[in-house]
Amino acid sequence: MSTFFRRKAAAVTFAVLALTLAGGGIAAAGASAKAPQEAVQPAARGTNAQPPVTAESARMAKAALKANSALVATATTVVVNSNGTKARGTGTVIKYGVGQYEVQFGFTVSTSIFVATIGRADACCIPPAGEISVAPRLSTPNAVFVQTRNSAGTPTDLGFHLVVHTA
């Protein structure tokens, strides 16, 4: 009887060892594969790179910082129409291309928290379905880059609401 249990214990030990090694091999193979986000992105999404900062944008950003050098805001909001015009709130909006916007403020926002949502400026109607991404603007410490897309992932001009909270 003790031989039976020894054989069974040895078999269980080898089975656990084999499963552990197999599981580790799968995990190692999964780490070298494409990231899941890249694998499921449709081809229509294109690049997520920001357009280069124009000389006019850089000049405007520097002027806004200089004019408001003593201003420190804890939170600010802005509502932007789909055509890139500011409906209300603080900041200056620059439209780069289809679904690409830059919002500049009179204070540094590079370490702030950004929250954006697709929305309309008026009280009418539900906004169209879509997606929105927001990030610090490259090479511009007082600006935020916003990108809007339709539900299929194609860049589309959509209105949005943006909240910037400085920490």
- Do the domain assignments include residue 41? no
Question: Tens digits of per-residue pLDDT, 52-68?
Answer: 888 888 888 888 777 76
| Interacting residues of 163 by C-beta distance below 8 A, sequence separation 6+ | 75, 76, 77, 114, 115, 116
Q: Residue 92 domain-assigned?
A: yes
Question: What does the pLDDT look like over 65-110, one tens digit per residue?
Answer: 777 665 566 789 999 999 999 999 999 999 999 999 999 999 999 8
Q: Are residues 51 and 28 in the same domain?
A: no
Range of the domain at 134: 46-165
Answer whether residue 127 shows pLDDT above 50.
yes
Q: Which residue has the tokens 């919002």?
A: 103
Using the Cα atoms of residue 86, residue 88, residue 89 and residue 90 in order, give the sign of their dihedral.
Answer: positive
Q: Are residues 111 and 147 in the same domain?
A: yes
- Please give the mean pLDDT across all residues of the chain: 77
In terms of domains, do 66 and 15 share one? no
Strand, helix or coil for residue 139: coil
Closest CA to 89 of 119, 62, 69, 60: 119
**Per-residue model confidence as pLDDT tens digits over 134-159:** 999 999 999 999 999 999 999 999 99
Is 76 part of any domain?
Answer: yes
Distance CA 115, CA 60 (A): 23
Judgement on whether residues 80 and 108 belong to the same structural domain of the protein: yes
> Structural domain tally of the chain?
2
Specify the pTM.
0.63
Residue 40 lies in a domain: no
